[in-house]
């Protein structure tokens, strides 16, 4: 869930609370949004009880973002906005480069019942993962920056205006790569920067595919995953994580050699982390 979606929810809550408000102490009155700043970072939160987590979150952000900038030669042109919220029962995160670089961060603890997401520190782990999405989607070439200046920034696609998809592609083309591609890279880097503790080396993903082989279940290829695999997946796109992690970490000898021996440096040659290469998924896969 992006910052824009969260803002809409808060705005809706404000509208609903208007007629019902009878005093300044109305239970339906939404709290005012608060802000905290650090180098390259703006944190938005709505409750004073969340302030205790901001220093640790800022340290995790600066540590991870600095590593991504140095390793992948990424030059941010704007601050990253993080919405710190507690709208779910379990910790989660989401990131997008449109309309600006933003991350939605759920501060609740992770669910470890099935060891699907092993993490030694959820804020640090989430920053490793989500900031990869910022880097891969916001990374721009000279052509991309030219269109951003022409259109006054990055263009968000709109259902009401299908032509906006074309304008959006011209400003942030890497964002339109398949989701499994983005998630696979983020999961790999998250595991690498955690010293091997993560989903690439975890037992859950391996169990899923070993079970599929044992049961002779269908395993999607890249096209099938985008056309059908995501349509039958009801758990927030979990197939994109499962397949992306396998595709980019161990699906071929070539990919395994590049990633497992070269680490994140090998990803720089893939194009998603390289400003000098084509921004088309067809050319960088």
pLDDT of residue 267: 59
Residue 143 lies in a domain: no
Backbone angles phi, psi at 41, to 5 degrees: -140, 140
Is the whole model's pTM more than 0.85, yes or no?
Answer: no
Average of per-residue pLDDT across 105-130: 83
In percent, the amount of the chain with pLDDT more than 90 equals 38
User: Within a domain: residue 101?
Assistant: yes
The pLDDT, as a whole number, for residue 112 is: 75
The answer to the question of residue 54 being in a domain is yes
Q: H helices of 196-237, where?
A: 203-214, 222-224
Instruction: Give 120-152 pLDDT, tens digit per residue.
Output: 788 998 999 999 999 999 998 899 999 999 999
Q: Is residue 102 part of a domain?
A: yes
Q: Indicate whether 23 pLDDT > 50.
A: no
10 Cβ contact list (under 8 Å, min separation 6): 30, 33, 46
Confidence check: pLDDT of 13 > 50: no
Residue 263 falls within a domain, yes or no? Answer: no
On whether residue 201 sits in a domain, the answer given is no
Side-chain-side CA neighbours of 132 within 13 Å: the count stands at 24
Q: What is the pLDDT of residue 277?
A: 55
Which of 31-35, 111-115, 149-153, 228-232 is least confident?
Answer: 111-115
Q: Is the pLDDT of residue 253 over 70?
A: no
Segment 236-243 shows an average pLDDT of 80
Digit-coded pLDDT (tens) for 41-84: 999 999 888 999 999 999 999 999 999 998 888 999 999 999 99
DSSP state of 53: G
Q: Helix and strand tally (H, E) in the chain? A: 13, 5
In a domain, 212, yes or no: no
The three-class DSSP label of residue 259 is helix
- DSSP per-residue string spanning 157-168: PBTTBTHHHHHH
Domains of the chain: total: 1
Residue 86: CA count within 13 A, CB half-sphere: 11
| Structural domain contains residue 66 | yes
Q: What is the pLDDT of residues 177-230, one digit of tens each?
A: 888 889 888 988 888 888 877 788 777 888 888 999 999 998 888 888 887 887
> What's residue 81's pLDDT?
96
Domain that holds residue 57: 1-123
Query: What mean pLDDT comes out for the span 251-278?
Result: 53
């Amino acid at each position: 869930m992006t910052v824009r979606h969260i803002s809409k929810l808060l705005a809706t809550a404000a509208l609903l609370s208007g007629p019902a408000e009878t005093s300044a102490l109305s239970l339906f009155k939404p709290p005012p949004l608060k802000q905290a700043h650090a180098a390259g970072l703006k944190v938005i939160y709505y409750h004073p009880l969340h302030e205790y987590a901001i220093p640790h979150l800022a340290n995790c952000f600066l540590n991870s973002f600095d590593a991504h900038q140095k390793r992948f030669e990424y030059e941010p042109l704007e601050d990253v906005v993080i919405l710190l919220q507690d709208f779910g029962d379990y910790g989660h995160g989401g990131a997008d480069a449109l309309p600006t670089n933003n991350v939605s961060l759920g501060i609740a603890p992770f669910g470890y019942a099935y060891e699907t997401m092993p993490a030694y520190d959820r804020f640090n782990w989430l920053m490793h993962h989500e900031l990869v999405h910022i880097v891969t989607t916001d990374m721009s070439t000279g052509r991309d920056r030219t269109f951003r200046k022409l259109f006054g920034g990055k263009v968000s696609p709109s259902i009401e205006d299908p032509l906006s998809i074309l304008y959006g592609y011209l400003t942030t083309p890497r964002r339109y790569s398949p989701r499994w591609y983005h998630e696979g890279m983020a999961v790999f880097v998250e595991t690498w920067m955690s010293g091997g503790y993560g989903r690439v080396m975890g037992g859950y993903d391996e169990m899923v595919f070993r079970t599929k082989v044992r049961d002779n279940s269908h395993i999607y290829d890249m096209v099938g995953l985008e056309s059908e695999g995501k349509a039958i997946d009801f758990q927030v796109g979990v197939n994109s994580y499962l397949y992306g992690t396998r595709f980019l970490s161990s699906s071929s000898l070539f990919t395994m050699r590049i990633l497992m021996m070269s680490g994140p440096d090998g990803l720089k040659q893939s194009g998603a982390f390289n400003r000098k290469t084509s921004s088309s998924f067809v050319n960088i896969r």
